[in-house]
Amino acid sequence: MITRFLFALSTASIIFACLPIANAADVEAGKAKAVIVCAACHGAAGVSVSDTIPNLAGQKARYIEAQLRALKAGTRKNDIMNAVAGQLSVDDINNLAAHFSAQASAAGGAKSELLPNLVKTGVSFPENYKTSFTKYHTINFPQTGQVRYYYANNAALQAAKAGKPLPDGSVLFAEVYSAKLDAEKKPVMGGDGFFAADQLLFYTAMARGAGWGKEIPDMLRNENWNYAVFTTAKQHRPGVNQAECLACHKPLDKSSYTFTLKVLADVAKTK
């Protein structure tokens, strides 16, 4: 029995000796990376900018490491964080975890000082979109019981028609409706294959202008694109954090940061 134990111990020692040794975490490097990568949502010191984003200040380092690794690998699903974590190295993850765990825990309801900058957007409501924009797409959203109608202004339409990246001055706009429900509370399908629209809920928009991206960290920047959500009264919805939109669209750099570019191009060619 003792011989077997010593053999097992010796074998384990050899195995562990062959495993790569992780670099010691660098708190200062983590702090520098947090300013560039994480501050837009979680705050440079781990104090979140929004009620929908968790504080990281004072969180256990091992927990942060585990979550970032899972997000990087895609085993934990989150469209925004999968895009961000996918750009982090192993050392980045260890350093960020060390930095945030070293911060004092955030008080309940604490908000990052970055929030005012992140809710600021260059996008304004396009008052005449019904007559001056082209309606180019409709999408059902079964999980939320919504249907959305998409519009593009002429600058975006002409660039898509020519197969060029969407330039400054482009505006993509969407009306968001709740779907009509039947007696079984299921969305009513129209003859066109899309949910029948019921109540207008809000509007969303993405637009780009010269210099609009200059103050956005590189790992979030979508060139010069800005984002906005408007109420049914055509006012900016309070507290919208552009960082969430930027991170979601970040992987789409080859398609003008736009989920619907191919559809827009196809429709543009018929105009």
Give the domain CATH number at 200: 3.50.70.20
* Cβ-contact 188, 180 below 8 angstroms: yes
Clarify whether residues 194 and 248 are in a common domain.
Answer: yes
Q: How far apart are the C-alpha atoms of 131 and 223, rounded to whole Å?
A: 28
Q: How far apart are the C-alpha atoms of 29 and 216, rounded to whole Å?
A: 20
Clarify whether residues 176 and 53 are in a common domain.
Answer: no
Confidence of residue 116 (pLDDT cuts 50, 70, 90): low
Clarify whether residues 30 and 102 are in a common domain.
Answer: yes
Residue 234 has pLDDT above 60, yes or no: yes
Clarify whether residues 88 and 135 are in a common domain.
Answer: no
Clarify whether residues 70 and 168 are in a common domain.
Answer: no
Number of domains in the chain: 2
Confidence of residue 47 (pLDDT cuts 50, 70, 90): confident
Clarify whether residues 41 and 104 are in a common domain.
Answer: yes
Task: Starting at the earlier edge strand, list the strands of the sheet with 171-179.
Answer: 134-141, 146-152, 171-179, 197-208, 225-230
Residue 68's identity, in one-letter code, is: L
Clarify whether residues 154 and 259 are in a common domain.
Answer: yes
Residue 136 belongs to a domain: yes
Indicate the residue among 71, 86, 114 that finishes a domain: 114
Q: How many CA atoms lie within 13 A of 40 on its CB side?
A: 24
Over residues 27-43, mean pLDDT: 84
Angle at 85 between CA 62 and CA 118, to 5 degrees: 110
Q: Say which residue, 26 or 6, is predicted with more confidence.
A: 26
Residue 112 has pLDDT above 70, yes or no: no
Residue pLDDT, tens place only, 3-21: 443 333 343 333 333 434 4
Clarify whether residues 150 and 107 are in a common domain.
Answer: no
pTM for this model (two decimals): 0.69
Clarify whether residues 254 and 139 are in a common domain.
Answer: yes
Clarify whether residues 262 and 162 are in a common domain.
Answer: yes
Residue pLDDT, tens place only, 140-166: 999 899 999 999 999 999 999 999 999
Clarify whether residues 102 and 212 are in a common domain.
Answer: no
For residue 76, give the CATH number of its domain: 1.10.760.10
Over residues 169-176, mean pLDDT: 98
Residue 14 belongs to a domain: no
Clarify whether residues 158 and 261 are in a common domain.
Answer: yes
Tell me which residue range forms the domain holding 100. Answer: 24-114
Residue 34 belongs to a domain: yes
Q: How far apart are the C-alpha atoms of 57 and 44, rounded to whole Å?
A: 9
